[in-house]
Structure 1
Amino acid sequence: MHKLGSIAAAALIACFVQFLAPLPAAAQAVAGKDYVLVNPAQPTESKGKVEVIEFFSYGCSHCNEFEPLLEKWTKAQGKDVEVRRVPITFGRDVWTPLARMYYSLEALGELDRMHAVVFDAIHNQRVPLNVEATQFEWIASKGIDAKKYQDIYKSFTVQSKVARAQQVAAAYKITGVPTMAVGGRFMTSGSLTGSHEAMLRTIDQLIVTARADIATK
């Protein structure tokens, strides 16, 4: 009995020591596998901060799936990280009204309230918001002044922002969405990392690198 008790005690201690052992660190992101270098590197708009860009479209089902994860992740970031979205069209006529919708909501100060609602309407309720007449009617149903919205939607300012977004996407050589860029130097996507969750883990590592670069300037 004493011998068996000693064996059991030794096994218990071994298990306890194993439990206390540190967990393996997250795998280091690898260039060319988990992310790619932006060539040439692009200027950023967030001076003194780490700029993180999401290239997306309201019409993209993968962007719709990614949005809740990105929103939660964004809220957990420090003050030195600035996340901004760039709605792109890839030259698709059906996506252009959605890019204009994004900037129109932004101009009206309605983006925080409506961003997830737009995704839900398109992908869950199947509302064809890429059709302008439908979009305008839907916007009015959400308590937004219809005339003011249409004036902004058709404005030169919004048209210019949509055009600029396509220029930025071209400079980054975006081929699919959602794609994320960090500090104007790094780019990653779910197709590279294997999942949206892994993409965010990769971005966390890239932010550390970008933050260190800013500190040395």
Structure 2
Amino acid sequence: MRRKIISWLMPLLAALFMAGAASAAGFDEGIEYKRISPPLPTRDPAKIEVVEMFWYGCPHCYQLEPELADWLKRQPADVEFVRVPAVLAKNWEPLARAWYTAELLGVEDRIHAPLFRAIHQERRRFRSADDLRKFFVEQGVSGKDFDATYNSFGVLTKINRARQLTRRSGIRGVPSLIVNGKYRTSASDAGSHEAMLRVVDYLIERERQARQAAARP
């Protein structure tokens, strides 16, 4: 009986501890981060998933890139990072298709950072498939491969999923980060890019401790 009482109390104590830790860190639900209800599915239940909702045309997403790269280097093996292009408007779709085209072709490293730079440093505009095809070719991607992929069923399926995730997550702008399908935060919520990443660190630890508590006998 005592063991049953202890096993029942442990998750409750863990939740109370995490709530206290959040308060001590200055992070509060509804302020620095929001709960997503119902929670979104994640790719791998064994991992703590962090999704970045971004758009290539967003200057704040571009500015976040170096900070995000440094943050990713510090993440342990139980954290999985996923990029998803937000589709908050119809004119966001071509650049979202660009990400998924690069992903399906396995050329993210050749496209992702250069496309950000082309838009925000070189002031290039990509409004159509032809604009993006030219850019992909400049980066060494076959025009034939681009044509076969950009309007493919695979890209269309991923765009539809991205559109659904954008809507169901409740985000209002980018960049936004979603932790394990349960919470979302942004620089607007947290106050800065740096603070947003600290909020994400807190939420990752919160999920990790909740899992550990649930796994105890």
Global fold match (TM > 0.5) = yes
Residue 160, structure 1, aligned to residue 152, structure 2: no
Structure number with higher helix proportion: 2
- What runs of 5+ residues in structure 1 fail to find an aligned partner? 1-25
CA distance in 1, matches of 2:193, 2:134: 33
> Structure 1, residues 12-68: CA drift from partner, whole Å, max 9, x if none?
xxxxxxxxxxxxxx7242111111111122221122110001111111111111111
* 1:54 corresponds to which of 48, 52, 55: 52
Match of 1:111 in 2: 108
Residue 132, structure 1, aligned to residue 154, structure 2: no
Number of aligned residue pairs: 191
Code of the aligned partner of 2:41: P
Q: TM-score, normalised by structure 2?
A: 0.84
Q: Is the 8 A contact 2:111 2:136 kept in 1?
A: no
CA distance in 2, matches of 1:134, 1:39: 38
Larger Rg computed on CA atoms: 1
Identity among equivalent pairs (%): 41
- What runs of 5+ residues in structure 2 fail to find an aligned partner? 1-23
CA distance in 2, matches of 1:76, 1:130: 36
Residue 190, structure 1, aligned to residue 166, structure 2: no
Q: Is the 8 A contact 2:177 2:186 kept in 1?
A: yes
Name the SS for the 2:45 alignment partner.
Answer: coil
CA drift of 1:203 comes to 0.5
* 1:170 corresponds to which of 167, 172, 176: 167
Q: Is the 8 A contact 1:52 1:84 kept in 2?
A: yes
Q: 1:214 to 1:150 in 2, by over 3 A?
A: farther
Code of the aligned partner of 1:108: L
* 1:147 corresponds to which of 144, 148, 151: 144
Query: How large is the RMSD of aligned CA atoms in angstroms?
Result: 1.3
CA drift of 1:211 comes to 1.2
Name the SS for the 1:84 alignment partner.
Answer: strand
Code of the aligned partner of 1:57: W
Match of 1:72 in 2: 70
CA drift of 1:114 comes to 2.2
Large movers: runs of 4+ above 6 Å: none
Match of 2:61 in 1: 63
